[in-house]
């Protein structure tokens, strides 16, 4: 059949059909390099890649990747209150968040007269019902937009959308620093709660009067399918290939362990970073081992941690998997592309001419 010529006037320029429209990385909660699905309980932990949970309340939580998910998704993050704090004071809060790199939101033009709107969409369920809250905020905490959403039925997946006008004021980084932070408030004190639906020159993490998940013992809250896109309309979720999503995550966190193995694990055999030093050669105190190159360029020079395959921190092993001198593997980060390790203590001999270790590299915002 003949080709049809399409004039510019026939194109729908308002629809977003391009790839990577979602500024959230790992919004479907499929990548968990650190924990391999295990629960986290510490303030500042990552239950899955790029998603972080902060707690300054008197309560306690457990958060982890979960297989409960709405149709079209396979994973979510589940947050459970393990110690309740029924009265949050001051700036106490529990929040689930992602910090977005400024280079990935520079086109929004926030802080200028041309600021573009964005739409936040997600799937959520909770054992609690009512009006929940969150916010969008700049890196300095001087501009924020509290928002609300309603969960109508307990323990049922519901789809939510929130459209937010672009902010024409304030300073919004467009560098490799924090350009924009998305908060989901799970209990927020009065000093960091504000009126929903408007920009404010304050550090608000959620909306006034929102439901507090941390306030009820054993309360649960699940989320997946998180998308933040340019424009005033929520579009279908931006499903990316697993490998592409993993590479996006690896800009901020990478490891030598195979996927599905948590960092610091023991019993992983000879799956570590293997470095040839020459048959029978000795690695002397202070000697540098060959460079390790990252698979993905990091956001900045990362913090590197090392373990032997037995899970012993800062330790080399021989090819038989036996730990060598204690504290014998200290990383030195060269740049955003590579690092090298060196033997920090007494000399060690590499069995079969090789030594091995595992590592992780974090350049998180």
Each residue of 250-269: b (16+ CB within 10 Å) or e? bbbbbbbbeeebebeeeebe
- Rounded-to-integer distance, Cα 259 and Cα 54, Å: 25
Together in a domain, 278 and 244: no
- Rounded-to-integer distance, Cα 160 and Cα 123, Å: 6
Residue with more model confidence, 91 or 358: 91
Inside any domain, residue 267: no
pTM for the structure as a whole: 0.93
Residue with more model confidence, 349 or 168: 168
Average pLDDT score, the chain: 90
Inside any domain, residue 5: no
Residue 2, exposed/middle/buried by CB under 10 A (0-12, 13-18, 19+)? exposed
pLDDT in tens, 93-117: 999 999 999 999 999 999 999 999 9
Together in a domain, 230 and 129: yes
Together in a domain, 70 and 195: yes
Q: Could you tell me which residues come within 8 angstroms of residue 5 by beta carbon, excluding any fewer than 6 positions away?
A: none
Inside any domain, residue 2: no
Q: What is the number of domains present in the chain? A: 2
pLDDT of residue 350: 58
pLDDT in tens, 200-216: 999 999 999 999 999 99
Q: Which of 250, 282, 299 is the last residue of a domain?
A: 250
Together in a domain, 281 and 233: no
Residue 306, exposed/middle/buried by CB under 10 A (0-12, 13-18, 19+)? buried
Inside any domain, residue 35: yes
pLDDT of residue 285: 72
Together in a domain, 173 and 300: no
Whole-angstrom CA distances from 99 to 42, 60, 252 are: 18, 22, 11
Inside any domain, residue 6: no
Together in a domain, 229 and 288: no
- Please report, for the domain that includes residue 25, its CATH number: 2.60.120.260
Together in a domain, 233 and 277: no
pLDDT of residue 351: 56
pLDDT of residue 115: 98
pLDDT of residue 275: 72
Inside any domain, residue 162: yes
Residue with more model confidence, 275 or 223: 223
Note down the domain range covering 109.
14-250
Q: Which of 217, 250, 283 is the last residue of a domain?
A: 250
- Check the CA dihedral 232-76-88-149 and report its sign: positive
Inside any domain, residue 20: yes
Together in a domain, 145 and 293: no
Together in a domain, 31 and 176: yes
* Residue 348: pLDDT band with limits 50, 70, 90: low
pLDDT of residue 271: 60
SS (H, E, C) the chain: CCCCCCCHHHCCCCCCCCCCCCCCCCCCCCCCCCCCCCCECCCCEEEECCEEEEECCCCEEEEEEECCCCCCCCCEEEEEEEECCCCCCCCCEEEEEEEEEHHHCHHHCCCCCCCCCEEEEEEEEECCCEEEEEEEECCCCCCEEEEEEEECCCCCCEEEEEEECCCCCCCCCCCCCEEEEEEEEEEECHHHEECCCCCECCCCCEECCCCCHHHCCCCEEEEEEEEEEECCCCCCCCCCCHHHHHHHHHCCEEECCCCCCCCCCCCCCCCCEEEECCCCCEECCCCECCCEECCCCCCCCCEEEEECCCCCECCCEECCCCECCCCCCEEEECCCCEEEEECCCCCEECHHHEEEEEEEEECCC
pLDDT in tens, 224-271: 999 999 999 999 999 999 999 999 999 999 999 999 999 999 875 556
Look up residue 15 and give its two tokens: 């629809």
* Residue 12: pLDDT band with limits 50, 70, 90: very low
- CB 178 within 8 Å of CB 99: yes
Inside any domain, residue 107: yes
Q: Which of 218, 250, 282 is the last residue of a domain?
A: 250
Together in a domain, 207 and 151: yes
Together in a domain, 171 and 319: no
Distance of CA 140 to the CA centre of its chain: 19
Together in a domain, 112 and 200: yes
pLDDT in tens, 294-337: 999 999 999 999 998 889 999 888 777 888 877 788 898 989 99
């Amino acid at each position: 059949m003949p080709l049809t010529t399409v004039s510019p006037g026939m194109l729908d320029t308002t629809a977003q059909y391009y790839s990577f429209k979602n500024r959230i990385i790992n919004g479907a909660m499929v990548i968990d390099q650190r924990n391999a699905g295990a629960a986290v309980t510490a303030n500042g932990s990552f239950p899955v890649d790029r998603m972080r949970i902060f707690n300054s309340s008197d309560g306690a939580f457990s958060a982890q990747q979960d297989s409960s998910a709405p149709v079209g998704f396979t994973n979510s993050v589940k947050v459970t209150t393990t110690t309740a704090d029924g009265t949050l004071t001051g700036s106490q809060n529990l929040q689930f968040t992602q910090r977005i790199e400024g280079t990935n939101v520079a086109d929004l033009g926030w802080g200028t007269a041309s600021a573009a709107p964005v739409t936040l969409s997600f799937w959520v369920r909770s054992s609690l019902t009512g009006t929940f809250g969150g916010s969008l905020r700049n890196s300095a905490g001087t501009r924020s937009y509290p928002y609300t959403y309603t969960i109508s039925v307990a323990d049922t997946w519901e789809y939510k959308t929130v459209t937010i006008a672009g902010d024409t004021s304030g300073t919004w980084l467009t560098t490799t620093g924090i350009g924009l932070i998305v908060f989901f408030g799970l209990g927020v004190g009065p000093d960091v709660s504000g009126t929903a639906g408007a920009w404010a020159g304050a550090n608000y993490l959620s909306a006034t009067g929102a439901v507090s998940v941390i306030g009820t013992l054993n309360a649960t809250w699940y989320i997946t399918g998180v998308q933040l896109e340019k424009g005033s309309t929520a579009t279908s979720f931006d499903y990316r290939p697993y490998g592409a999503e993993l590479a996006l995550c690896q800009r901020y966190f990478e490891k030598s362990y195979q996927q599905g193995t948590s960092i610091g694990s023991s019993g992983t055999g000879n799956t570590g970073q293997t470095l040839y030093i020459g048959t029978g050669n000795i690695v002397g105190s202070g000697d540098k081992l060959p460079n390790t190159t990252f698979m993905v360029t990091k956001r900045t020079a990362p913090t590197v941690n090392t373990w032997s395959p037995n899970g012993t921190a800062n330790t080399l092993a021989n090819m038989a998997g036996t730990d060598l001198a204690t504290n014998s593997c200290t990383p030195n980060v060269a740049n955003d592309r590579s690092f090298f390790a060196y033997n920090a203590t007494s000399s060690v001999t590499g069995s079969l001419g090789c030594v091995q270790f595992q590592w992780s590299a974090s350049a998180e915002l």
